[in-house]
Amino acid sequence: MTTLAISAEARLRAKSQLTLPEPVVAAADVHEGDRFLVEIAPDDPDTIRLHRIRDSYAGSLREVFDDPEAYLESERATWERGA
């Protein structure tokens, strides 16, 4: 993911289709078939939020557990010695 903010214009097309601009697709690393939750707050109808629905969250907590394999190995070691 990029560290710079991305801003790009999109236009709603026929059949309510919205095409994400290439800079947004590249920065967010989204792909054809990805699913999104669309959120609109009643008090701010001009702001639409898109949240990607991930098929898998594997590896998404690396900042918490660092290397998941090493973390699991250390956890399993405590199980084996009964700690």
The Cα 54–Cα 23 span in angstroms is 20
**pTM of the entire predicted model:** 0.57
Q: If you average pLDDT over every residue of the chain, what do you get?
A: 86
**Which amino acid type is present at position 7?**
S
State what percent of residues in the chain have pLDDT above 70: 89
Alpha-carbon Rg for the chain in angstroms: 20
The Cα 55–Cα 59 span in angstroms is 12
User: Encoding tokens for residue 23?
Assistant: 């800079």
- Is a pLDDT exceeding 60 seen at residue 15? yes
**Which amino acid type is present at position 54?**
R
Work out the widest C-alpha separation in the chain, in whole angstroms: 63
